[in-house]
Amino acid sequence: MNGTASRADERLVHVPLGERAYDILIGPGMIARAGGEITARLKGRRAAIVTDEHVEPLYLAQLMDSLQTDGIEAVSLTLPAGEKTKSMDGLAAVTDMMLAARIERGDAVIALGGGVIGDLAGFAAGIVRRGVRFIQIPTTLLAQVDSSVGGKTGINTRHGKNLLGVFHQPDLVLADTAALDSLSPREFRAGYAEVVKYGLIDKPTFFHWLEKNWTKVLEGGPERIEAIAISCQAKADVVVEDERETGRRALLNLGHTFGHALEAATDFDSSRLVHGEGVAIGMVLAHRFSARLNLASPDDAQRVAAHLSAVGLPTKIADIEGSLPPTQMLMDAIAQDKKVKSGKLTFILTRGIGQSFVADDVPASEVLRFLEEMR
């Protein structure tokens, strides 16, 4: 099956990758059902759960009970919350826990948390014993619609974000929409930026739908589940077409090149800027830069900024609290994120709402001048 199935308040998105195909189950109560859903798909009966200090008191006991009920023996590791956990030290802690627990290839690593935990646990799952099974249980909106789907894993280094990692597809994604009720408004809005991204890439009707229904998405109910399902299906479609980001999958980086540079500029301090906020600013910058290059109308950039601002997301570099390093340092981060070739950069630009494309010949000098003006 390739597509989205539904029953009542639940959706199923299938990612058809041959022997590595997997399901994304979306709806309330998925954590309580985890044991049964995992045993229906995997033969291993041992699991290592990776979570963080924010998620542990909310959902770890429920997950452990579900696994135990279905005969899965599990250990867990709780790490500090925040982007700085995606580090060599964090990776060492997870891999050491897995080896101490004698996790074998048929067993599973379960990521219970947001994108940081998913990226870190997925990387560990991809390298321990050259690859063990991997289950994503994303508890943030950002992770449910983006980072938990597609198999990109990794950690940050002092040179930039996500520069060490592997492609390691999950065996199952359980997106428990009830878990989103525990998010702060700021965390939910940050995840919403990734939802908007799918409309801006190639789904202008979805973006228009979000402009009309965003308050209902934030409030919960059918519109929230629908937005998550559409986002997951959009990402699944791209991943199936270009699993290892050699072509079309690069479009999923819309707003991320600018956003990652801004995150690095704040030293990944989540009190100043979280990932989804960086993406929101980055998507506006991408549209404004496209207008600067006469590729798109300035009205489109203003429309994107107006929607994100209405939701409560930052849309300008000046919206980031505190001082930022010189623009050349932002350029250094951009050069790491998307390599320079003959003085030119690869960016995701746009010809209008829902008309994004990969541009691999953007002059670095133009980007530098643009960023100077946008500060």
Q: How remote is the C-alpha of 307 from its chain's centroid? A: 20
Q: What digits encode the pLDDT tens for the residues 148-200? A: 999 999 999 988 888 999 999 999 999 999 999 999 999 999 999 999 999 99
Q: Nearest CA to 114 among 36, 6, 194?
A: 194
Whole-model pTM: value is 0.91
Q: How remote is the C-alpha of 246 from its chain's centroid? A: 19
All structural domains of the chain, each given as residue ranges with its CATH number in brackets, are: 4-183 (3.40.50.1970), 198-374 (1.20.1090.10)
Q: Nearest CA to 34 among 136, 122, 119, 113?
A: 136
Pairing, β 73-79 against β 46-52: parallel
Asked if 224 and 216 touch (Cβ cutoff 8 Å), the reply is yes
Q: What digits encode the pLDDT tens for the residues 117-157? A: 999 999 999 999 999 999 999 999 999 999 999 999 999 99
Residue with tokens 């979570």: 51
Q: Higher pLDDT residue, 8 or 357?
A: 357
Give catalytic residues, as residue numbers.
130, 152, 194, 235, 245, 249, 253, 256, 260, 275
